């Protein structure tokens, strides 16, 4: 599915060049859950951002090739990349609340992706069911804006009445009346094709009353629900591959179990590939089939999950596994990172 070969990424900083990735080789097969583990700064996230060309301006990919389904996307055009991001590859980020736009409803945010990546399907659905594609929203403003408009109108009306020219106040009177009877003047449009598709996307991630959730803002939802909305967004473009960048770090363990179960279920249903980036070895042990351990911009070990936890080969992996408290009260072994660096 996704093949990364000898990827090298540098960051140019004031203190010199930082080699964030130093020759990363990864191969993610169709329909597997692949784990990428490592500590802060090991280059897990940079790998996925480099592959999708989402690096900040200071970073640049120096060397290497990225292949998606056999197609070389290393030098792909911006248009093609835009099709891939959100279309073929969906991404979930760590903190759902900062990844969701706080001033857009869930409906608008998922709708945006559908319009960009599923336009034909929306039009097809619209012509099939003979409903409009988009819903023309009723004229609507926040209560503060409405109050201000009302206050302006009333003050102008009173001004003109005082001046004796009350004929001029008629248009303002009309505005006030229209605001009161807006609901009768503008009729509710029937459901649009876009709405139906948003609701379908939300029900795929097992959210209750998708109609209601579609009209709420991110802050009105709980952490687990926000992460579900993020997953719905990532899947909305009919993604064949899902990149989950620390999807459960901001959540409680019980909610984490729910979200991981959901990712596993969806992966099975749609036979997707999932790249799970995490620092929690337990999460990897539970969800993934194969796993790669990263350290200092390199993959130090790649193996199946059973193999890596029962029989780790690399010193760093061993150190990492030893550092996790495992029930006994013995003193924890701190991995000697200096040694790993030289080996």
Partner 1 sequence: MKEILSIKNLRKHFPVKNAWGTDVALVKALDGVDLKIESGKTFGVVGESGCGKTTLMRTLLRLVEPTSGSVILSDEIIGNEVSSNKLEELTGDELRSFRKQIGVVFQDPMGALNPRMLIKDIVSEPLAIHGRTENVRARVIELLENVGLGEEHLYRYPHEFSGGQRQRIVIARALALDPKILVLDEPTSALDVSVQAQILNLLNDLQKKYDLTYIFISHDLSVIEYMCDRLAVMYLGRVVEEADTEELFSNPQHPYTKALLSATPSFDKKKEKIMILGDVPSPINYLDESKAKLATEITEQEKLEINAIEGKGIDYIVRSSLNEVVPLVQISDGHFARVK
Q: Which residues are near partner 1 by CB under 8 A? A: 39-40, 206-209, 222-225, 252-258, 260-261, 265, 279-283, 285-286, 306, 309, 319-320, 323-327, 329, 331-335, 337
Could you give the CA distance from residue 338 to residue 336 in angstroms, rounded to a whole number?
Answer: 6
Which helix (H) or strand (E) segment holds residue 24: the answer is: strand 16-28
Which residue number, 76 or 285, has a Cβ lying nearer to partner 1? 285
Q: Quote the least distance from Cβ 335 to partner 1, whole Å.
A: 5
**Closest approach of partner 1 to the CB of residue 282, in Å:** 3
* Minimum separation from the CB atom of position 328 to partner 1 (A): 8
What number of residues does the chain have? 343
Cβ nearer to partner 1, comparing 143 with 208: 208
* Residue 301 near residue 278 (C-beta atoms within 8 A): no
**Virtual torsion, Cα 91, 95, 100, 106, nearest 10 deg:** 90
Minimal distance, residue 309 CB to partner 1, in Å: 5
Residue 231 beta carbon to partner 1: minimum distance, rounded to whole angstroms: 14
Q: What is the token pair recorded at 6?
A: 């000898």
> How many Cα neighbours within 13 Å face the side chain of 335?
16
Q: What share of the chain is helix, strand, coil (3-state, %, to 5)?
A: 45, 20, 30
Indicate the DSSP class of residue 330: S
Smaller CB distance to partner 1: residue 6 or 212? 212
Radius of gyration of the chain (CA): 26
What's the min distance (Å) between Cβ of 245 and partner 1?
16
Q: Tokens in use for 62? A: 């120096």
Q: Which residues pair with residue 27 across a beta bridge? A: 3
In the bound state with partner 1, the residue whose beta carbon lies nearer, of 140 and 331, is: 331
Nearer to partner 1, 40 or 136 (CB): 40
Q: Which is nearer to partner 1, 143 or 327 (CB)?
A: 327
Whether 47 and 296 have beta carbons less than 8 Å apart is answered as no
Assigned token pair, 332? 């924890």
Q: Which is nearer to partner 1, 44 or 85 (CB)?
A: 44
Tokens of 72: 């070389």
Give whichever of 71 and 265 is closer to partner 1, judged by the CB atom.
265
Contact 276, 36 (CB under 8 A): yes
CB of 283 to partner 1, least distance (A): 5
Shortest Cβ distance from residue 38 to partner 1 (Å)?
A: 9
Rounded distance between C-alpha atoms, residue 324 and residue 314, angstroms: 16
């Amino acid at each position: 599915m996704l093949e990364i070969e000898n990827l090298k990424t540098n960051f140019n900083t004031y203190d010199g060049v930082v080699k964030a990735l130093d020759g990363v080789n990864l191969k993610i097969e169709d329909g597997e859950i692949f784990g990428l583990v490592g500590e802060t700064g090991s280059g897990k996230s940079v790998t996925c951002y480099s592959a999708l060309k989402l690096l900040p301006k200071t970073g640049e990919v120096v060397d290497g090739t990225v292949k998606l389904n056999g197609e070389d996307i290393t030098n792909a055009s911006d248009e093609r990349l835009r099709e891939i991001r959100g279309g073929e590859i969906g991404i979930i980020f760590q903190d759902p609340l900062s990844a969701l736009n706080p001033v857009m409803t869930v409906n608008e945010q998922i709708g945006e992706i559908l319009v960009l990546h599923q336009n034909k399907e929306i039009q097809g659905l619209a012509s099939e069911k003979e409903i409009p594609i988009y819903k023309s929203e009723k004229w609507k403003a926040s209560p503060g804006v409405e109050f201000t408009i009302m206050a302006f109108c009333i003050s102008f009306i009173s001004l003109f009445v005082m001046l004796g020219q009350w004929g001029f106040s008629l248009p303002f009177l009309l505005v006030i009346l229209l605001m009161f009877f807006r609901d009768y003047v503008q009729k509710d449009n029937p459901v649009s094709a876009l709405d139906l598709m948003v609701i379908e996307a939300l029900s795929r991630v097992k959210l209750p009353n998708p109609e209601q959730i579609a009209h709420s803002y991110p802050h009105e939802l709980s952490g687990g629900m926000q992460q579900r909305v993020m997953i719905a967004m990532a899947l909305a473009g009919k993604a064949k591959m899902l990149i989950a960048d620390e999807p459960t770090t901001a959540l409680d363990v019980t909610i984490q179990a729910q979200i991981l179960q959901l990712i596993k279920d969806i992966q099975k249903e749609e036979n997707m590939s999932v790249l799970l980036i995490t620092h929690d070895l337990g999460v990897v042990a539970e969800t993934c089939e194969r796993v790669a351990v990263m350290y200092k911009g390199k993959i130090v070990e790649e193996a199946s999950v059973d193999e890596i936890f029962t029989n780790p080969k690399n010193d760093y992996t061993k150190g990492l596994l030893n550092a996790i408290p495992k029930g006994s009260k013995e003193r924890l072994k701190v991995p000697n990172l200096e040694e790993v660096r030289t080996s």
